[in-house]
């Protein structure tokens, strides 16, 4: 109710809350993103926020999608136009207004279930998702004791998100990246190599790892310039709290889990066991939560 009052949608927060309780409507309100053409009567405001009464689209944005994938998802859900959303997400003026002029919007579109009203513009959708990010993530980042900046933590979280969907493994994957950063070993994360590629391949090959992208951690040292997807809270928590383990390598077992190793020889043995031959890049470390990606370096 406070946000409604702060934005001028309702004149008196306490009076509106009392009115809603008297009519037993307070329990029917769905959290979401709403647009109000002010001024509006309390009944009209409430109508917009009750499923089945207001005209809005319910859409769930899962963890791990990039900007272009989110644009396609929203377009399929009849929430705006794909090209217009992509353009809005890259609009310098909007990015400046959102405080992301030097970062970009990738990583800051929070994965969640949204209720977007009919007629909401692509710019408003982007802004709403970034606002949702700040509400959910800023309190978490405020507790950080990491030497990484918030943007770097978000970048690391995006890599963890793409590497594994196994909740128990996220802190281990995080530890591998932290350990490599500490000793100056390239991160060599497969998903970074194909980030930004049009129609990114489902199976990452040796050739893909030669992609001359600024995000390709097989070619650059340290973290990429920014996130490679929009991670969820579990991945962010793993980036903030890596496991206390000495692992430097991991390889996919092709069953949704990974083998973690300290020594390269041990890792190479795991690569041979789980990957066999074929068009595979040199043994390093990586993995992916998507079942169709069978390669790990």
Pick the more confident residue, 294 or 25: 25
pLDDT of 284 reads: 38
Across 210-215, average pLDDT: 90
Cα–Cα distance measured from residue 230 to residue 83, given in angstroms and rounded to the nearest whole number: 19
Do the Cβ atoms of 139 and 262 come closer than 8 Å? no
pLDDT of 193 reads: 92
pLDDT at 205 over 90: no
List the alpha helices (DSSP H) in the chain.
2-6, 13-22, 42-48, 67-76, 82-89, 92-97, 122-142, 150-163, 170-183, 190-193, 233-240, 264-274
pLDDT of 22 reads: 52
Pick the more confident residue, 4 or 112: 112
Residue 74 corresponds to which tokens in the numbers above? 């929203």
Give the global pTM. 0.78
What's the chain's length in residues? 297
pLDDT at 172 over 90: yes
Across 172-176, average pLDDT: 97
Q: Is 297 helix (H, G, I), strand (E, B) or coil?
A: coil
* β pairing state of 249-252 and 56-60: unpaired
Q: Which residues, in sequence order, are bridge partners of residue 116?
A: 57
pLDDT of 52 reads: 47
Q: Is 244 helix (H, G, I), strand (E, B) or coil?
A: coil
pLDDT of 2 reads: 58
pLDDT at 275 over 60: yes
Residue 35 corresponds to which tokens in the numbers above? 């647009």
The angle formed by the CA atoms of residues 147, 151 and 157, to the nearest 5 degrees, is 85
Cα–Cα distance measured from residue 4 to residue 171, given in angstroms and rounded to the nearest whole number: 38
Residue 197 corresponds to which tokens in the numbers above? 């590629």
DSSP characters over 159-179: HHHHH---TTTHHHHHHHHHH
Q: Is 82 helix (H, G, I), strand (E, B) or coil?
A: helix
- pLDDT band for 158, please (50, 70, 90 cuts): very high
The string of pLDDT tens digits covering residues 58-117 is: 899 999 999 999 999 999 999 999 999 999 999 999 999 999 999 999 999 999 999 887
Average pLDDT, the chain: 82
Residue 123 corresponds to which tokens in the numbers above? 């710019």
Cα–Cα distance measured from residue 134 to residue 154, given in angstroms and rounded to the nearest whole number: 12
Do the Cβ atoms of 201 and 194 come closer than 8 Å? yes
Of 66-70, 222-226, 265-269, which gets the smallest average pLDDT? 265-269
Across 254-269, average pLDDT: 91
């Amino acid at each position: 109710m406070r946000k409604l009052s702060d934005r001028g949608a309702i004149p008196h927060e306490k009076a509106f809350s009392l009115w809603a309780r008297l009519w037993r409507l307070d329990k029917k309100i769905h959290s979401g993103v709403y647009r109000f053409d002010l001024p509006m009567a309390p009944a009209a405001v409430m109508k917009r926020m009750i499923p089945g009464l207001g005209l809005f689209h319910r859409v769930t944005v899962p963890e791990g999608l990039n900007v272009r994938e989110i644009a396609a998802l929203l377009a399929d859900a009849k929430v705006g136009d794909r090209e217009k959303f992509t353009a809005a997400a890259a609009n310098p003026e909007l990015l400046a207004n959102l405080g992301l002029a030097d970062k970009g919007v990738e990583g800051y579109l929070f994965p969640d279930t949204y209720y977007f009203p009919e007629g909401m513009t692509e710019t408003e959708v982007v802004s709403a998702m970034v606002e949702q990010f700040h509400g959910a993530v800023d309190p978490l980042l405020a507790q950080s004791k990491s030497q990484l900046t918030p943007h770097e933590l978000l970048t690391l979280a995006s890599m963890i998100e793409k590497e594994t969907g196994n909740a128990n493994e996220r802190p281990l994957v995080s530890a591998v990246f932290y350990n490599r950063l500490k000793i100056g070993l390239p991160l060599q994360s497969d998903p970074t190599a194909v980030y930004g590629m049009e129609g990114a391949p489902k199976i990452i090959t040796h050739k893909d790892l030669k992609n001359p992208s600024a995000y390709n951690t097989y070619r650059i040292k340290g973290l990429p310039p920014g996130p490679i997807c929009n991670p969820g809270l579990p991945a962010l928590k793993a980036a903030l709290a890596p496991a206390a383990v000495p692992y430097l390598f991991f390889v996919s077992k092709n069953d949704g889990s990974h083998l973690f190793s300290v020594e390269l020889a041990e890792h190479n043995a795991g690569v041979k066991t789980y990957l066999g031959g074929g068009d595979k890049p040199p043994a390093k470390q990586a993995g992916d939560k998507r079942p169709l990606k069978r390669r790990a370096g």
